[in-house]
Structure 1
């Protein structure tokens, strides 16, 4: 945790607002008549730590300055708004506002320098909070150009040392701290702060270094100065040092830090102290600290989010009000001829749209009628063609069998059966050729549904046309026969009341998953129930059969890779 930015920021805010009042107090009588009541009222709410109201009146003060064409006043308002946002935890919003503020100051005007210093320092603080250390140092260096005050320069040097510490450049940070400490001496009010941070960076650089003596001295000096913020930092550093060395001491200082953070109403440090206590406590105490941590964290997050939302809402409402005024002004400038012209354009568009809609509907209707007529003609042709084939194959075959029986008195039964079987084969081939006119997934669905009855319900998932599109006809026919054998085997042996067939095409693999709730398989299942025939067909198309071992029912998968 970085303790010093918090203290420096407190100093920074005081410097900024005192600068504001000093500059305002130097105005001549004519300037005093142009006082901005919104800008002044913002500081009343700042004293109460009511940041949303502070931001609100600073924004209204900015708008008043804008109407007066007072760019310096606008810049002052924006700088204070940016600091308010950073103090409430809205670092991104603070940077955005500070960058906007810089456009309203003149770097060559010395009257603007105090605000330029504060603005660049705020950009450095917010960037450091966001761990954007490169930009943070760049902004601090820029702030040096706009101040000659020794305390301002001390603060900036200290802030840069903090960034270097965060970048783990401990040697460079130590060099800056040592130079600052030597320059101010132990009686200076900032000595405890600098001593704390110097000792901490020294410890980070050399783990054998013992910073406790300096931490305790800084705590003692802070007590003499009634500086609770600095004491809070000392307790934090002491607890951190003893964390892995002496748990009792770490707990002792963590509790003191927790007590002081509550007094200061600074939940960030409360959370840090509770983190240490949770790590080092056991049982009920750890749970108690954890519950307190969760409550404070939720409250802090809600408070920060509320502040960010409130700032954004205030800006939004302000911009919205300006936009509405502009719109109203433009509406007054629109004359009747413009309105009439607009109506003519609208009616022209409506008429064009109506003509296009009517034309499209007529074309669509005629095309639909044409497609229906073509489909009916094609279907009629297929029916006539199929009827002819039925007559040629089935009728002629039956006539041949009848003639044989009539003319050959002692014809053997086997010969008659052979003829009938031949006719059956031809009929089946005819049916097959006709089914080719169907989509293949419809053939598969027809096959599966033929086994669906009151005793056995079959669910089909994924049997869409695009599942079969990537397979050639011979593979599809083999899979069709395998599914038929699988269903015949189910009907004969499984006693299943529910069957699920799922067709999945993923990662260049075709997968037909079969599941039923029947009696399952016996140990010699490979020789029974048609599995031997299925395996032979699967081998022909380089597919595999995977069977899951189950105590009841059957689950298997037929997998085929794309070629």
Structure 2
């Protein structure tokens, strides 16, 4: 039996099931990681793969809490599970990672440093790296004062000496252990068994059989099947070259007990001996059974290695993804802060521009109002004179006709009144209006302009209207008035812009406001229908950009140079 049963049991006791002693050494406040506690529950249920997953989750949670000691504890337990399931290389890697989280001068870390170095020694011994294993075991000794811990390490070092065929050194260590623990100690049968095995390897003339049988009796009385199994193994090996019947007998007993213990390594060892000791069909049956168990063991170990590697890979992948998301979040937050800063700067600049513009507009409006009042007063004087000449004289003529003619036809009176109406209408749209059409537009705009809704006019110069036909002027006047009426009724705008642009023979009037836009049903009503009708007669186009905030309208047409 290549691995002594005592060595194996101690590994199970102090590696795979060390949680009880661990909890005794931990403050209550450190036992608050739910993943860590769940992992031990799964270990109690012999669900080692699941326990590994939860130890890994516990490690991540400890790291998030900046608890490096907790992360190290989780890694030690993960490494021990890997060793127990045959992933020795992975176990060493995980144990080395765990060592970075412990402080070798902190007594609170000693028990885990001991377990970690002991596990490194076990995994190295399994890989037959005996020098490394011996160094790790001796390192573990510096972190414990417990007599059982020291006995376990001494036993493990003795196993290394035995595996290196340094039987004298192994016998010396086992002799001290047997003499020191006494026959009443529960470990005595195991120590005696290993001592006699190494002593026989040291001196082939030595007969350990009686001591082997003595160990079997003690272990059976104690219910220690593992030690009994090891004794059967040693007896079978001892008789292999001396008495094949006895060797076969103990090999069969070892196989039956190993199956009961569900320990495949000892099953393989017993089958290996039985293949040598039997012939023909029986030997072939043992060989088939050996092959199946060996394949199962190798498959199980490979599966464990792959699972552990996949779990760690997914964990690191998730960690990398989390770091990437954190980086993206930080970048987004930085961009948001930059945008906020730019928005505030734009608001400040906008407010400054608004204040300056408002002041400039106010001064400009005051000048324009003063100028408009002066022009209006002058126009009133001129208009009063024309009204007197045209309307008053016309009325006087009608009155005189009625007074001087007793029987005047109704049609004649109506004709005279209609003629007076035409003259008064001509007065309203006099040549002055046609030659100074820009003033008429300005007057129209000013009638809608107020402090709540200022209207900015750009490009309404005499030159813009100079080559436009009079009938089109009248249509455009009515269109602009309709737009301003709709603005006043529906838009709730606080600013309106009218811009007149001429590009050679092409003319364009731009209207825009910052109101609430116009509902679709308003656009389809009479006002806009009349606008579209007038534009159609002018061969003009209109583009409406109706939005939730504001509305833009562009009216474009072409005038011949000789218009």
Above 0.5 in TM-score?
Answer: yes
SS in 2 for 1:209: coil
2:13 is matched with: 11
Q: Distance in 2 between matches of 1:13 and 1:245?
A: 38
1:188 is matched with: 185
Whether 1:110 and 2:112 are equivalent positions in the alignment is no
TM-score (norm 2): 0.58
- 1:328 Cα deviation after fit: 2.2
Residues of 1 paired with 2:206 and 2:64: CA distance?
Answer: 60
Find the counterpart in structure 1 of residue 249 from structure 2. Answer: 252
Tell me what 1:135 maps to: 132
Structure 1 residues 51 and 231, CA, compared in 2 at 3 Å: closer, same or farther? same
Could you say if the C-alpha distance between residues 208 and 330 of structure 1 is closer, same or farther in structure 2, counting changes exceeding 3 Å? same
RMSD: 1.7
The 3 A distance-change label for structure 1 pair 183 and 246 is: same
Deviation at 1:23, TM superposition (A): 2.5
Q: Does 1:161 align with 2:158?
A: yes
Cα distance in 1 for residues equivalent to 2:127 and 2:195: 23
Question: Does 1:72 find its partner at 2:69?
Answer: yes
Deviations 1:114-159 (A, max 9, x none): 1111111111111111111111111111111111111111111111
* Aligned residue number for residue 278 of structure 1: 275
Quote the residue 1:47 is aligned against.
Answer: 44
SS for the counterpart of 1:105 is: coil
Structure 2 residue matching 1:200: 3-state secondary structure: helix
Distance of 2:325 and 2:64 partners within structure 1: 18
Task: Write the deviation string for residues 354-374 of structure 1: whole angstroms up to 9, x where unpaired.
Answer: xxxxxxxxxxxxxxxxxxxxx
Query: C-alpha distance in 2, partners of 1:182/1:75?
Result: 37
2:7–2:152 contact (8 Å) kept in structure 1 = no
Q: Is the 8 A contact 1:144 1:153 kept in 2?
A: yes
Q: 1:58 maps to what in 2?
A: 55
| Residue 322 of structure 2 corresponds to residue 325 of structure 1 | yes
Separation (CA, whole Å) in 2 of partners of 1:135 and 1:17: 26
SS in 2 for 1:245: coil
Instruction: Pick from 214, 217, 221 the counterpart of residue 220 of structure 1.
Output: 217
Cα shift at 1:53: 0.3
Aligned ranges for residues 79-90 of structure 1 at < 5 Å? 79-90=76-87
Match in the other structure for 1:243: 240
C-alpha change, 1:231 and 1:323, in structure 2 (3 Å) is: same
1:97 & 1:182 partners in 2: Cα distance? Answer: 37
In structure 1, stretches of 5+ residues that fail to align are 339-563
Q: CA deviation at 1:19?
A: 2.2
Cα deviation 1:273-319 (Å, max 9, x = unaligned): 00111111111111111111111111111111111111111100000
- Decide whether the 8 Å contact of 1:170 with 1:202 is kept in 2: yes
Equivalences for 1:309-348 in 2 at 5 Å? 309-334=306-331
Alignment of 1:23 with 2:25, yes or no, is yes
Alignment partners' CA distance in 1, 2:22 and 2:306: 27
Change (3 A) 1:72 1:332: closer
Contact 1:5–1:125 under 8 Å retained in 2: no
SS in 1 for 2:66: coil
3-state secondary structure, aligned to 1:146: coil
Partner of 1:124: 121
CA distance in 1, matches of 2:39, 2:114: 21
Shift in CA distance, 328/239, structure 1 to aligned 2, threshold 3 Å: same
Describe how 1:285-296 pairs up with structure 2 within 5 A.
285-296=282-293
Q: How many residues are treated as equivalent by the alignment? A: 333
Report if the CA contact (8 A) 1:56-1:314 is conserved.
Answer: yes
Moved more, 294-303 or 57-66: 294-303
- Cα deviation for residue 91 of structure 1 reads 0.6
The unaligned stretches of length 5 or more in structure 2 are 336-563
Deviation at 1:48, TM superposition (A): 2.0
After superposition, give the CA deviation of every residue in 1:452-478 in whole Å (9 maximum; x if it has no partner).
Answer: xxxxxxxxxxxxxxxxxxxxxxxxxxx
Q: Distance in 1 between matches of 2:184 and 2:249?
A: 28
* CA contact 1:16–1:115 (8 Å) conserved in 2: no
- Say if 1:43 and 1:246 are closer, same or farther in 2 by CA, change over 3 A: same
Q: Aligned match of 1:203 in 200, 203, 206?
A: 200
Partner Cα separation in structure 1 for residue 92 and residue 317 of structure 2: 22
Contact 2:212 2:235 in 1 (8 A): yes
The TM-score normalised by the length of structure 1 is 0.58
Residue 450 of structure 1: aligned partner: none
1:414 is matched with none
Cα deviation code 1:192-244 (max 9, x no counterpart): 11111111111111111111111111111111110111111001101011111
Q: Helix, strand or coil: the match of 2:259?
A: helix
Question: Could you say if the C-alpha distance between residues 15 and 298 of structure 1 is closer, same or farther in structure 2, counting changes exceeding 3 Å?
Answer: closer
Residue 16 of structure 2 contacts residue 80 of structure 2 at CA under 8 Å; is this kept in 1? Answer: no
Q: Deviation at 1:337?
A: 12
Aligned-partner SS, 1:168: coil
Change (3 A) 1:210 1:62: same
Distance 1:302 1:48 in 2: 22
Contact 1:20 1:76 in 2 (8 A): no
1:369 is aligned to none
Q: Deviation of residue 330 (structure 1)?
A: 2.6
Mapped pair 1:268 → 2:265: yes
Change in 2 beyond 3 A, CA 1:15/1:306: closer
| Higher Rg | 2
Aligned mates of 1:336, 1:78 — CA distance in 2: 35
